[in-house]
Amino acid sequence: MLGKLIKYDFKALNRYLIAIHAMLLVTAAIGRFLFIKRMMQNPGGLSDVGLIIMSIGIMIYVILFMTALFGTLMMIAIHFYKNIYSDEGYLTHTLPVTKGQLLISKTITGSVWMFADIVLITLSILILVLYQPVIQEFMLYKDDMLAAMGFPSSFGYGKIFLAVIWLLVVSAVSNVVMLYVSIAVGQLFSNHRVLGAIVAYFSINMIVSIITGVIGAATGFSIFVGAADETFLYQFYVKTYLVSMATTLITAVGFYAVAYLLMKKKLNLS
């Protein structure tokens, strides 16, 4: 049954999010080959009409960029609210599934789309800016760039890439369950539940940001005080990464547990 729930949730989210991100990538590709590539090869070669068209294209790309960024978050939140707490929730809660299965399904599908959103937005930017001269310059100075960032030459970009991917995956899960717990908290209000959920989301986000900021600052200060050699930057990156990963994991687990308890004990349909 869990598989059917996941399939249903993906179908509900895919309906809009695939179209939004596809338009973003297509717009980036069109902009690359019609304008950006031409400007790179011949700066100042565009006519006045071409510049106007390019400006309109940039505006369209920015709009789609922002729509993909915030629209994904909104679609995940709306689907969770409608499926669990609105009139549709009466039907949802008659299904032969547990509250845990419902939450797991929506956490999996929401997290996958949150991660995909970051990947596809990044891909759209790379489509626009990643040209052969840029790649050649990067390959020429990649070792110097690594050294300038404080990483040992043996570390390599592959490890950095994998570390970033893991952090993005955990952050995607944490952001999704933060949305869910905010919506669940909002349902505790007798009136203005949507507003309550919005206030809860920004309040929780602010509290988490303050706590992680304090922890991060304390970590950075401890590294600075104990720094004794040229490996200072490397130590800073590694310890900051580990702290970020740990705090994100802890918050993700905490948000998930609270959301589950509220769904199970304080379910309040509108």
259, pLDDT greater than 60 = yes
User: What sign does the CA torsion over 179, 181, 184, 190 have?
Assistant: negative
Could you report the per-residue pLDDT of 160-175, keeping only the tens digit for each?
Answer: 888 889 989 999 999 9
Please state the separation of Cα 207 from the chain's center in Å.
19
Share of the chain above pLDDT 70, in %: 79
151, pLDDT greater than 60 = yes
Please indicate whether residue 65 or residue 46 has the higher confidence score (pLDDT).
65
Could you report the per-residue pLDDT of 182-191, keeping only the tens digit for each?
Answer: 998 888 877 7
Q: Is the pTM of this model over 0.85?
A: no
Output the DSSP codes for 199-222. HHHHHHHHHHHHHHHHHHHHHHHH
- CA–CA separation, 77 and 164 (whole Å): 25
Question: What pLDDT, on a 0 to 100 scale, did the predictor assign at position 116?
Answer: 93
Q: Confidence class of residue 137 from pLDDT cuts 50, 70 and 90?
A: low
Nearest to 14 by CA among 113, 123, 117, 120: 113
Q: Among the listed ranges 2-11, 40-49, 161-170, 248-257, which one has the minimum average pLDDT value?
A: 40-49
